[in-house]
Amino acid sequence: MSSDTAIKRALLLLAALAALQPALCAQWKENAARLLGPEKNYAAAAEALAAGMAGFPAAEKADAAALLAFCASRTADPAAETRWIVEYFDSYHAASSGFVYLGLMAQSEVLGFLNGWRARYPWIIGLSLIKGVGDDVIMPEGILPLAVEMSNKGYYKFSEGGNVIKAGFFNPGFNIIALDANELFLASGRRSYVLEVMSGSLILTRAIDLDIEVSSSQPKPEPAAPGQSARPLEYSLTVYIGGEPVLESRKTIRTVPLKIDVRPNQNPYGFKPDYVLTRDKPNPSTSFNALGAVGYLYTLLKDLMKKRGRKDLPPPKIDTVQDLALAFQSKDYEGVAYETAIRLKLTQRALPFSIKTP
């Protein structure tokens, strides 16, 4: 058999499978409607769905996962119910069709079941870095904000290397985890974190990697020539009593070139240093909903908007990204200006869920 003939047969087979796909989809939906409707045979429905799910097209798998979770709830199998509901939300993003192919009663029961889960499932909708508003970067002094968008409230724990950095409570909408930018921006490298969110007994876990690339235009100090030393610094202290100087002391220190120390000091939005994060005090506001966040930032941006001569502006839109580039202007110990560039890349992946036992 020639290669041309083999290729033609392969193409015909693919075309035949593509033609059969709608029929196969219709068939499993008809079976589901029958087993979940008049027959109410949830065990048989679950068995058929699990056996055929691997061959379903991607667009149909969300429906199948939801129906498998529903069948598990009706057969009193909480482990399977949790497994498939996590698949439905986290793997298939709750992208169901509405189950219009089911009978009216079965459709109502399935939708009611999913709405019950949707009201309490601690779905981590998104993890991102906050770029700012338009072209204006939001970088509170000393803080790198990590935005966590939640569908519902839940307790959280944020760890690095097995050590808990922060813990608290997330509200629905945007929540902020404040990372110490002064520490992160000192050198290039990767920081790996684990975020755990719990609602009821269900714990969802995400692994987060933050890749940091630091580059600087700061010139390297030239070695001092023989017999020469670095420019000295001179300090003087004078003590006055009754307006008259009674004691004076002078001290000269020969400086050692400093290492690059990146401190984000661009602060156009009214944030005070370490407003969000302090090392020794509890964080007063690590979490706020989306409307609250927009309103809060709008208040901080009022002066900026006024300077642009614009009136009656709607609340600004906060831009979130997975890749972020920043630049900071600094001066070295001799007063020479230089720029430090920071590039950040955020990646994440879901880890297996767990169930908290009493």
The string of pLDDT tens digits covering residues 237-258 is 655 555 566 456 565 554 444 3
Q: Where are the alpha helices (DSSP H) in 124-233?
A: 181-184
pLDDT of residue 183: 86
pLDDT in tens, 126-165: 999 988 776 666 666 677 888 899 999 999 999 999 999 9
pLDDT of residue 203: 94
Smallest CA-to-CA distance from 211 within 351, 325, 347 is with: 347
b/e per residue 197-209 (b: at least 16 CB within 10 A): bbbeebbbbbebe
Tokens of 124: 């981590």
Query: How far apart, in whole angstroms, are the C-alpha atoms of residue 142 and residue 139?
Result: 8
Query: How far apart, in whole angstroms, are the C-alpha atoms of residue 33 and residue 54?
Result: 19
As a whole number of Å, the CA-based R_g of the chain is 30
318-323-329-332 Cα dihedral, nearest 10 degrees = 140
Evaluate whether 350 touches 90 at the Cβ level (below 8 Å). Answer: yes
**Cβ-defined contacts of 73-79 (< 8 Å, 24+):** 73/113, 74/42, 75/42, 75/43, 75/46
Residue 66, pLDDT above cutoff 70:
yes
Q: Residue 241, by phi and psi: left (phi above 0), alpha (psi -120 to 50) or beta?
A: beta
Evaluate whether 144 touches 181 at the Cβ level (below 8 Å). Answer: yes
Predicted confidence band of residue 1 (pLDDT cuts 50, 70, 90): low
Smallest CA-to-CA distance from 41 within 32, 51, 28 is with: 32
pLDDT of residue 233: 57
pLDDT in tens, 247-301: 565 655 544 443 434 444 343 333 333 333 333 333 333 443 434 444 444 455 4
Residue 61, pLDDT above cutoff 70:
yes
